Structure 1
Amino acid sequence: MTFAQLALICLVAILGPLLSLSRGIRVPVVIGELAVGLALGTTGLRMLDPHDPTFAFLADIGFGLVMFLAGTHVPMRDPALRAGALIGLLRALLIGALSVPVGLGLAHLFGTGHGLLYAVLLTSSSASIVMPAMAGLPQIAPAIVAMLPQLAVADAVCIVLLPLAIDPANAARAAIGGLAVIAAALLVYVVMRWVEVTGRRRAVHQLSEERGLALELRVSLTILFGLAALATAGHVSIMLAGFTMGLAYSAVGPPRRLSNQVFGLTEGFFGPIFFVWLGASLNLRDLAAHPSTILLGLTLGGAAVGLHAVPALTGQPWPVAVATSAQLGVPVAAATLGTNLGVLAPGESAALLLGALVTIAAVTAVVGPLARVAGPAPVAT
C-alpha cells in the first residue's frame, strides 16, 4: 500500500458521512464506505488490493476498534438495562430458537451445509448499527429500554458462538480461545474497576490532561491489541476481543475524553479503512457467476428481518422489532473467517454480506417509525 492509495481511501471514504447527512433517510455511514470499496476493489476498478498485507493489517486494527465502540454502545451501567433484561433476554432466546430450524432449512435448500452458521447470523443483532441509527432519539421509552438488553445478548452470544458454528471440526479449539479472550476481558474489567474505585484513574487522567500525554488512550490501545493477539493465537475473531473489551469499559464507565479520542481515531481513520477494505475484498462477480448466492443473500437478510419481527406478536412495537434485525459485525467476521479457513463456497462470503445489507436497509427504513415510538425529544431547561 502506498501513501497515494491511503490518501485516496481517506478522500473517498468521506462519501459515507455525506450520505448520512440526509434527515429524511439516515443511511449508515458504513454503506458509503462499503460502496467505495466495491467500486475501487475486486468487484470494480481493482485500484485497491485487499490482499495487500499493510492494507489488511490496518483493516484488522479498524475491525477491532469498530467492535470496541460497538461494545461501549451497550449501556452496561444503565439501570434501565437491568430493568428490561428479562423481557429482552426472552425475546433474544425466542429469535434464537426460531433461527435454528430456519438456518438448517436454508442450508439444506441451498446445499451449503452451513445451517448452524446461518442460525447464528439470523439470531445476531448489531448495536453498532442500531445505536447510531437512533442517534438524537430519546431512549427512555419502555420499548426502547427493553430493546437494549436484547441487542446486548444477541451481540455477545452470537460473537462467542460464531467460531464454533463456522468451523465445527475445530469447535473445541475455538471454544478454548474464546474463553481465554473472555477471561482476559473480565480481568481487564476487574483491574479497571479497582483503578477507578481507588481514585488512581482520576489521578492519571488529570496528569495526562495537564501534560497532553494521552495516557488513557495509550493504555487502552495496548490492552486492545493484547486481547487481539490473544484472539489471533486462539483462532477466534478479533471481533470478540474488541467487543468484550468494549463491554468491560462500558461496565466501568470510560472517561468522556477517552471516549472522544477512541471515537475520533476509529471513525476518522481506522473504521473507514476497514469498511473500504471489506468492500474491496468482496467479489460481487462471484455473485453473478453463481446466481444462487444472490438468492441466498437476499433470503438470509429477509429471513433475519422476519424472525426479528416475530416479537411484535408479544407486544414489542414493530419498528423496534425490525430494528433489532440489523447485522454487521457477525456477518463480516463470518465472511472474513470463513474465507481465511476456506470453508465457504464461491460467492458465499459475498452472500453473507448481502444479507447484512438487507437488514441495514430495513433498519434505515424504520428510523421514522422508531422516532415515533421513542417519543418527543426531551426539552432542555
Structure 2
Amino acid sequence: MSFTMLAVVVAIGLIGPLLALPRGWHIPIVLGELVAGVVLGKTGFGYLTASDPRFTFLADIGFGLVMFVAGTHVPVRDASLRRAIRPGLLRAVLTGVVATGLAFALNAIFGTGHVALYAVLMASSSAALILPIVDSLGLGGRSVVELLPQVAIADAACIVALPLAIDPPHAGRAALGAVAVIAAGVVVFFLLNRLERSGLRQRAHKVSEDRRFALELRVSLMVLFALAGLATATHVSIMLAGFVLGLAVAAVGEPRRLARQLFALTEGFLGPVFFVWLGASLDLRELGTKPAFIGLGAALGVGAVISHLSGKLTRQPLSIGALASAQLGVPVAAATVGTTLHVLQPGEPSALILGALITIAISAAAGGIAVRHGLTAPKRQ
C-alpha cells in the first residue's frame, strides 16, 4: 500500500458520511464505506488489494478500535439498564432459541454445515448500530430501556460464541483463547477501577489535559494492542479484545476527553480504512456464480428479524423487536475470520454481509415506525 492508495481509501471513505447526511434515511456511515470498498475492490475495478499486508494490518487496527468504541457505547453504569436486565435477558434467550431453530432449517436448505454460525449471526444485535439510532430518533420509554440490556447481552454473548461457532474443530482452543481474553479484560477493569477510586486517574487526566499529553488515549491504545496480541496468539478474533476493553472502560466510566479522541481516531481514519478494506475483500461476483448464496444472505437477514420479533411473545412492540435485529460487527467478523481460516465457501462471506445489510435496512425503518407509534423519550423542559 502506498500513500497515494491510502489517500484514495480515506477519500472514498467520505461516501459514508455523504450517504448518511439525510437524517431521515437513518443510514449508518459504514454502509457507504463498505460500498466504496466493493466498487474499488475485488468486485469492482480491482484497484484496492485487500490481501496487501500493510492494508490488512491497518484494517485490523481499525477493527479493534471499532469494537472498542462499540463496547464503550454499552451503558453498563445506567441504573435503569440494570433494572431491565431480567426482561432483556429473557428476550435475548428467546431470540437465541428461535435463531437456532431457523439455523437448522437454513442448513437443511443450503447444506453448508454451518448451523452454529447461522444461529449466532441471527441471534446477534449490534450495540454500535442500535444505540445511535435510538439516540438520533429520541426513542424512550419502558420498551426502549428494556431493549438496551437485550442488545448488550446478545452482542456480548455472540461475540464470545462466534469463534466457537465458526471453527468447530478448534472450538476448545477458541474457548480457552476467549476465556484468556475475557480474564485479561476483567483484570484491566479492576486496575482501572482502582486507579479511579484512588484519584490517580483524575490527577493524570488533569496533567494530560494541561500539558496535552493524551495519556489516556496512549494507555488505552497500549492496552488494546496488548489484548489484540493476546487474542491473535490464542487464535481469537481481535473483535473480542476490542469489545472486552470497551466494556471495561464503560463499566468504570469513560472520560469525555478520551471518548472524543477515540471518536476522532476511529471514525476519522482507522474505522473507515477497515470498512473500505472489508468491502474490497468481498467478491460479490461470486454470488452470481452461486445464486443460492443470494438466497442465503436474504434468508439470514429475514431470519434475524424473525428471531428478534419473537420478543412480541413477552409484549415487546414489533417495531422495537425489529430494531433489535440490526447487526454488523458479528457478521463482519464472521466474514473476516471465515475468509482468513478458509472455512467458508466462495461467496458465503458476501452472503453474510448481505444478510447484515438487510437487517440494517429493516431496523432503520423500524426506528421510524417506533417514532410514529409514540415510543419516544419525554422532551426536556
TM-score bucket (shorter structure): over 0.9
Would you say the 8 A contact 2:139–2:371 is kept in 1?
A: no
Question: What is the number of equivalent residue pairs in this alignment?
Answer: 380
Would you say the 8 A contact 1:117–1:162 is kept in 2?
A: yes
- Quote the residue 1:11 is aligned against: 11
> For 1:77 and 1:322, how far apart are their aligned partners in 2?
25
Distance 1:35 1:70, change over 3 A: same
Q: Note the C-alpha offset of 1:41.
A: 0.4
Q: Note the C-alpha offset of 1:139.
A: 5.1
Would you say the 8 A contact 1:122–1:307 is kept in 2?
A: yes
Partner amino acid for 2:238?
I
Q: Note the C-alpha offset of 1:136.
A: 3.0
The 10-residue stretch of structure 1 (203-212 or 14-23) with the greater mean CA deviation from structure 2 = 14-23
- Quote the residue 2:336 is aligned against: 336
- Give the unaligned 5+ runs of structure 2: none
Q: Note the C-alpha offset of 1:371.
A: 2.8
> For 1:7 and 1:108, how far apart are their aligned partners in 2?
45
Question: TM-score, normalised on structure 2?
Answer: 0.98
Q: Note the C-alpha offset of 1:377.
A: 5.4
> For 1:262 and 1:367, how far apart are their aligned partners in 2?
27
- Quote the residue 1:221 is aligned against: 221
Would you say the 8 A contact 1:71–1:244 is kept in 2?
A: yes
Q: Note the C-alpha offset of 1:362.
A: 0.7
Confirm whether residue 209 of structure 1 aligns to residue 222 of structure 2.
no
- Quote the residue 1:143 is aligned against: 143
Q: Note the C-alpha offset of 1:286.
A: 0.6
> For 1:20 and 1:67, how far apart are their aligned partners in 2?
20
Would you say the 8 A contact 2:139–2:377 is kept in 1?
A: no
> For 1:164 and 1:305, how far apart are their aligned partners in 2?
23
Would you say the 8 A contact 2:15–2:33 is kept in 1?
A: yes
User: Structure 2 matches for 1:197-276, cutoff 5 A?
Assistant: 197-276=197-276
1:95-118 CA-to-partner distances (Å, cap 9, x unmatched) read: 101111211221121010001110
- Give the unaligned 5+ runs of structure 1: none
- Quote the residue 1:378 is aligned against: 379
Would you say the 8 A contact 2:320–2:367 is kept in 1?
A: no
- Quote the residue 1:290 is aligned against: 290
Would you say the 8 A contact 1:137–1:377 is kept in 2?
A: no
The 10-residue stretch of structure 1 (22-31 or 82-91) with the greater mean CA deviation from structure 2 = 22-31
1:317-354 CA-to-partner distances (Å, cap 9, x unmatched) read: 11110011011111111111111111111111111111
Partner amino acid for 1:251?
A
- Quote the residue 1:351 is aligned against: 351
> For 1:300 and 1:23, how far apart are their aligned partners in 2?
27
> For 2:23 and 2:326, how far apart are their aligned partners in 1?
20
- Quote the residue 2:189 is aligned against: 189
Q: Note the C-alpha offset of 1:314.
A: 2.0
- Quote the residue 2:175 is aligned against: 175
Query: Helix, strand or coil: the match of 1:134?
Result: helix
Partner amino acid for 2:187?
L
The 10-residue stretch of structure 1 (127-136 or 203-212) with the greater mean CA deviation from structure 2 = 127-136
User: Structure 2 matches for 1:352-371, cutoff 5 A?
Assistant: 352-371=352-371
> For 2:379 and 2:72, how far apart are their aligned partners in 1?
23
Q: Note the C-alpha offset of 1:313.
A: 3.1
Would you say the 8 A contact 2:141–2:377 is kept in 1?
A: no
> For 1:378 and 1:202, how far apart are their aligned partners in 2?
33
- Quote the residue 1:67 is aligned against: 67
1:15-35 CA-to-partner distances (Å, cap 9, x unmatched) read: 111111212211110110001
Would you say the 8 A contact 1:26–1:364 is kept in 2?
A: yes
Q: Note the C-alpha offset of 1:227.
A: 0.4
RMSD, aligned α-carbons: 1.1
1:291-317 CA-to-partner distances (Å, cap 9, x unmatched) read: 111110001101111111121232111
1:141-180 CA-to-partner distances (Å, cap 9, x unmatched) read: 1111000000011001111111111111111100000000
Q: Note the C-alpha offset of 1:212.
A: 0.5
- Quote the residue 2:36 is aligned against: 36
> For 1:225 and 1:78, how far apart are their aligned partners in 2?
28
> For 2:16 and 2:168, how far apart are their aligned partners in 1?
36
Q: Note the C-alpha offset of 1:14.
A: 1.0
Would you say the 8 A contact 2:143–2:316 is kept in 1?
A: yes
- Quote the residue 1:93 is aligned against: 93
- Quote the residue 1:55 is aligned against: 55
1:191-248 CA-to-partner distances (Å, cap 9, x unmatched) read: 0000000000000000001101000000000000000000000101000000011000
Query: Helix, strand or coil: the match of 1:43?
Result: coil
- Quote the residue 1:134 is aligned against: 134
Q: Note the C-alpha offset of 1:73.
A: 1.0
Query: Helix, strand or coil: the match of 1:24?
Result: helix
Q: Note the C-alpha offset of 1:140.
A: 4.1
Partner amino acid for 2:61?
I
> For 1:297 and 1:333, how far apart are their aligned partners in 2?
16
Question: TM-score, normalised on structure 1?
Answer: 0.98
Q: Note the C-alpha offset of 1:376.
A: 5.1
> For 1:262 and 1:370, how far apart are their aligned partners in 2?
31
- Quote the residue 1:324 is aligned against: 324
Distance 1:245 1:376, change over 3 A: closer
Partner amino acid for 1:202?
Q
Partner amino acid for 1:127?
A
Partner amino acid for 2:39?
A
1:33-90 CA-to-partner distances (Å, cap 9, x unmatched) read: 0010010000001110000111111110111011111111110100011111000000
